[in-house]
Structure 1
Amino acid sequence: MSTNIKENLGAKEFDLIYRHSLKVGDIGICKWNMDKEEMYIDEYISGYELNNIKNMKEFLTAIAYHKDRDLAIRDLEDYLNGTNLYYLSTFRIKTKAGDIKWVLVKGKILKDEDIRDKVLHVLIFNVTGSKLHEGHDIMTNLINDRFFLRKLKNAIQVAKAQNKQGALIYIDIDNFKTINNNYGFQFGNLVIKEFAMSLDSLLSHSCELAKFPGDKFMILVNDFDYIKEVEEICNNIYEYFKRPIEILDNQIYINLSLGVTIFPNDSTDENELLKFCDFAVTQSKHSGKNVCTIFNKEVAKSYYRRTLIESEILNAIENQEFYLHYQPKIDISSNRITSLEALIRWNNNKLGFISPGEFIPIAEGKGYIVQIGNWVLEEAIKTASQWKDKGYYFESIAVNISPTQLKRKEFKPTLIKLCKKYNIPHSLLEIEITESTLMGTSEENIGILKELIDSGFKIAIDDFGTGYSNLISLIEFPISTLKIDKSIVDNIECEKNKLVFKSIVTLGRNLKFEIIAEGVETKKQLDILAKLGCDGIQGYYFCKPLPKEEIEGWLEKGKCDK
């Protein structure tokens, strides 16, 4: 109100209008003379008579709700220390009548022109139930995720400064979607409200409950001495919600997954802590739900590595990160190279070299294996064509095929198309499938294998001896090669292993299979395998998998010298 208006009204009448506007608008005014430690307070929001307050910190201590007091004071200190340009804070107060209200505080330090003192001018707004602030979840009357993050950041700083530890407990209602589907969204809202009220009643004053988006809740445990205290909070929650909650005469059972992370031990970054909590909740769900998981960094490392592999593998082909190495199969009697196996490799800028044993199962699980497998096929067939043009001798080039690829209707047409494109005979390509893949073939897939063989492609059974093969399948298909698994070769000096290997050789000879021993690493293994009648070997004893350019040197010689 301008000075002219005040002069026209008179002091008493002006004072009445001024105070009425404060009351009606739920606005308060404070002035803190920082040089003289004097406070002028005019507000009706809290209901307190604050006549003896000397500074803003004392004022905040007096009116702030105990769970928000530290945060309210920190906001003031951040402004006074120059961290923030303006004084701005949102927090809860507990009124003289016992009500909880939300206030928005704005202020700035100005030089008083008359007395030349520094004065902090502050406006206080009652924003309870208003959209002027973003700290309150209207449905549950709890703090929301945004305000919670501010409180968490402050709690981390306090824990570090005072050498204490705190915890986050992330709570997910596992069956909330089912409840919504069965009863409707309005009913689901009632469940959330009742759940929030019940959950809040279980917590002590040192804990703060927040509503996160959807059916998620977060508990901030500001201080504890032993992890058992946090576990006890979780156990109490589980025990309480074993009983149903009643909503509109319906008995509703709540299934929960809980995840816990500790600060500052696990992290001092609030967003990272939330990520860790989410990981712990995911682990709880995998463990069967209604479980609490405490975040473990070592377990998480493998999870985040897997997640990174999943994201990076998508663009690996486009970025030309995949490449092939080739390992020769050697005739055991002449040391000559008879064929080669194409083996995929992956080198990523973020992850470095990733073993096929690590990324192939992920590619299969995420549905990327067909795209990757088709790339391997084309690259191997193209290379085989180039080697034939250079006059190198080899009987076949082998490519590993996943069960998923084999089940695709377009698999056989793709093979034929690629062989035609690069002008190589079908007999030059050997399809390697594992023993478990052979056992898992359906009638339809058996038909595919027969079609491939009838079309002139060779079929090899890889890792033979690790499963329980159906002998009928071995008899039924004119398979070209049995590759004996490394686990048998590793212990070939053992008499039982010799007996098993000799039996496989006898079976292979009778069925006209070529017998290849995988993973041969020593001269002693080679000699024993030769005596047992093995046809060929593959392993580091002769040659490890090599890049295309290096393997060409071996192909030029045509044999491996040892």
Structure 2
Amino acid sequence: MYIYNEGNEQIYLRALKGADIAIWEWNMENNTLFLSNNFTNIIEHTGIDFKDLWDFIQKTAVEPDKVSAKNDLVFFINGNTSIYKSEFRISTNNGKIKSILIKGKAIKNPQGKIRLISGSINDITEKKSLEEHINYLAYYDSLTGLPNRFLFVNDLRTALINSQNGSLIFMDIDDFKLVNDTFGHDYGDLLLVIFSQLINSCIKDLGKLYRLSGDEFIILINKYNSYNKLSELCYHIFNYLKKPFEVKGDKIYITISMGITLFPEDSHDINELYKYADLALYHSKINGKSTFTFFQHEIFNSYRRKVNIEQELKNAVKNNEFHMLYQPQVDIIKNQIIGFESLLRWQNAKLGFVSPAEFIPIAEMTGNIVEIGDWVLNSVCKTIYEMKLKGHELKKISVNVSPIQLKKVGFADKFVNIYKKYGISPSQLEIEITEGTLIDLFSYKIKTINELLKKGVKVSIDDFGTGYSSLNYLTVLPISTIKIDKSFIDNIYHQKNKVIINCMVNLSKSLNYEIIAEGVETKEQLDLLSETGCNIIQGYYFSKPLTINEVEKTLMKKDGFGGV
């Protein structure tokens, strides 16, 4: 039960003051306006009398808000709403702008005419400031002050609705993660602020710069979509970036990659345009960075092909889509097959035949190469076992192994367990790795190769001479075989290539390595290789890659190179 007394009224007045609320009442019959004591504190006006609410609005509301404030009052007095409510800005005596909220209800006489309007007034300046800040963050990046992804989508939608000709330039800073890792995120943030200011000065009135996330920025050009003018703009930006950035007293050089898409030429769809610009940017990255690429539909087709391969690879092993072929390695002195290289092939129901050169890099990127590699090793070991049952003792089959597999913990144990499962001698297997893989593993997982070498598994270097090997690696690892890359064989007619091949052969003989020439296709190539002393040949001159049934028939021949 509420009991009124003077103490309660003091509590009431203190509560109004603490809440920045004042009370008012407008007697419309005698046109007088009552204002509580806290009213002056809220509106920060002194020495001004207000006849009524109209007079209050006229004398305090900022000019842009007067019309809407008066309309709110008219709307209420005319009976269009039961509660009077109006938000507007006022100017105080000292010129400060504040936001207020006025609310009220009417008391009517028996004839239904408004007699009194009583209500409150709140200071909502802080609330409005917070709302404005939240609204700002919804559209603008808090670090750089640039418009963000949300505003970019809105602006691009507007440009497309208005059928404007324009373009998107998607860009990011090359190797920006290294900057954060080396100097710290505070340093990186400051670099982004300086970078955004520089790009804005480059584009001036040509377009609008947005920060999407991290070091990703996009420029919306709604003036033109000319290849020449856009190229000029990109070169202009590159020229600006030749000078170092000064961040916290340090000088740092950066490069950027850019991807460009044009509208409406490339698409009318927001999501497609963004994807196309992103794909063009990715194309710039794989082409060496510090460049720009215009989107072409061939890029999208390549991307879609890559995505399809990624998806189909996931179930390729389970669906039994892989098969192995075996290409003979022939000793031309003994006229015998001394081994085979196992070659993985993929026939997919949706994609048809997919070249290893196309799907292997994708399998390595996605990690599917590990499962595929396990399948290959099982298949090869099973083939050696089944051929033995038929009376064909295969001396050696080489298996291509990805660096992704070699870096996996437990690879050596897995390899051993598989060949033991089929009762195969490790000397019948040869791991074939590329020159680049050898160098990478030398400093990373050399222990894996050493474990296999101790078991008796041979190691072959594929594509020898095409990379950046050091002879030191050849002396440290007990490699068994070096394979001369096909690119040298194709150009063996040139004296320089012949000299290089001769050096490879002499080096291999000195280190007691077996040397194999890959990709031999003509009698002339064979004769020139024979002159250098390279006697083991692999290529179409002798045989294409064979199915296991064709291998068996070849081994059963009594003439030619029929026997292992």
For the superposition of Structure 1 and Structure 2, which TM-score range results when normalised by the shorter chain? Answer: 0.5 to 0.7
> Does the alignment pair 1:453 with 2:453?
yes
> Does the alignment pair 1:182 with 2:230?
no
Instruction: Please give the alpha-carbon distance, in whole angstroms, between the structure 1 residues aligned to 2:468 and 2:559.
Output: 35
Q: Deviations over 1:124-171 (max 9, x none)?
A: xxxx97999xx9779899987668657645644764xxxx73223446
Name the aligned partner's letter for residue 168 of structure 1.
Answer: L
1:532 to partner: Cα distance: 4.5
Task: Find the residue that maps to 2:453 and give its secondary structure.
Answer: helix
Cα 1:285–1:23 change in 2 (3 A) is farther
Name the aligned partner's letter for residue 456 of structure 2.
Answer: G
Aligned to 1:432: 432
Matches within 5 A, 1:101-112: none
- Cα pair 2:516 2:534 within 8 Å, conserved: yes
1:317 to partner: Cα distance: 3.1
Q: Deviations over 1:189-221 (max 9, x none)?
A: 9x79x979x9699765x9677776778665544
Aligned to 1:394: 394
> Does the alignment pair 1:295 with 2:343?
no
Instruction: Please give the alpha-carbon distance, in whole angstroms, between the structure 2 residues aligned to 1:26 and 1:529.
Output: 102
Instruction: Please give the alpha-carbon distance, in whole angstroms, between the structure 2 residues aligned to 1:307 and 1:443.
Output: 33
Cα 1:169–1:490 change in 2 (3 A) is closer
Name the aligned partner's letter for residue 537 of structure 1.
Answer: I
Aligned to 2:122: none
Aligned to 2:553: 553
Of all paired residues, the percent bearing the same amino acid is 43
1:555 to partner: Cα distance: 3.2
- Cα pair 1:325 1:344 within 8 Å, conserved: yes
Task: Find the residue that maps to 1:341 and give its secondary structure.
Answer: strand
Name the aligned partner's letter for residue 72 of structure 2.
Answer: V
1:460 to partner: Cα distance: 2.8
Aligned to 1:92: none
Name the aligned partner's letter for residue 182 of structure 1.
Answer: D
Task: Find the residue that maps to 1:265 and give its secondary structure.
Answer: coil
Matches within 5 A, 1:1-16: none
Q: Deviations over 1:387-440 (max 9, x none)?
A: 111222421111122344344452322222111111211121122233444455
1:518 to partner: Cα distance: 1.5
| Structure 2: segments with no counterpart, 5+ residues | 1-66, 76-85, 88-130
1:273 to partner: Cα distance: 0.7
Q: Deviations over 1:249-278 (max 9, x none)?
A: x99x99896543211222233321111122
Aligned to 1:65: none
Matches within 5 A, 1:58-457: 149=153, 152=156, 155-156=159-160, 159=163, 165-170=165-170, 181-182=185-186, 204=205, 220-224=220-224, 226-227=226-227, 229-230=229-230, 259-282=259-282, 294-298=294-298, 302=302, 305-306=305-306, 309-310=309-310, 312-349=312-349, 351-439=351-439, 441-442=441-442, 448-457=448-457
Instruction: Please give the alpha-carbon distance, in whole angstroms, between the structure 2 residues aligned to 1:244 and 1:518.
Output: 48
* TM-score, normalization by structure 2: 0.59
Aligned residue pair count = 438
Name the aligned partner's letter for residue 279 of structure 1.
Answer: L
Name the aligned partner's letter for residue 339 of structure 2.
Answer: S
- Cα pair 2:481 2:513 within 8 Å, conserved: yes
The structure 2 residue matched to 1:24, chosen from 57, 67, 72, is: 72
1:542 to partner: Cα distance: 1.7
Q: Deviations over 1:77-136 (max 9, x none)?
A: xxxxxxxxxxxxxxxxxxxxxxxxxxxxxxxxxxxxxxxxxxxxxxxxxxx97999xx97
Name the aligned partner's letter for residue 415 of structure 1.
Answer: F
1:330 to partner: Cα distance: 2.0
| Structure 1: segments with no counterpart, 5+ residues | 1-18, 28-43, 46-127
Name the aligned partner's letter for residue 401 of structure 2.
Answer: I
Task: Find the residue that maps to 1:557 and give its secondary structure.
Answer: coil
- Cα pair 2:384 2:394 within 8 Å, conserved: no
Q: Deviations over 1:450-499 (max 9, x none)?
A: 54333222233333344576556556665443333323333444555555
CA radius of gyration, larger in? 2
Instruction: Please give the alpha-carbon distance, in whole angstroms, between the structure 1 residues aligned to 2:243 and 2:500.
Output: 58
Task: Find the residue that maps to 1:544 and give its secondary structure.
Answer: coil
* TM-score, normalization by structure 1: 0.59
Aligned to 2:544: 544
Cα 1:23–1:422 change in 2 (3 A) is farther
Q: Deviations over 1:280-317 (max 9, x none)?
A: 44566778989765434455655555555455544443
Instruction: Please give the alpha-carbon distance, in whole angstroms, between the structure 1 residues aligned to 2:274 and 2:434.
Output: 42
Aligned to 2:490: 490
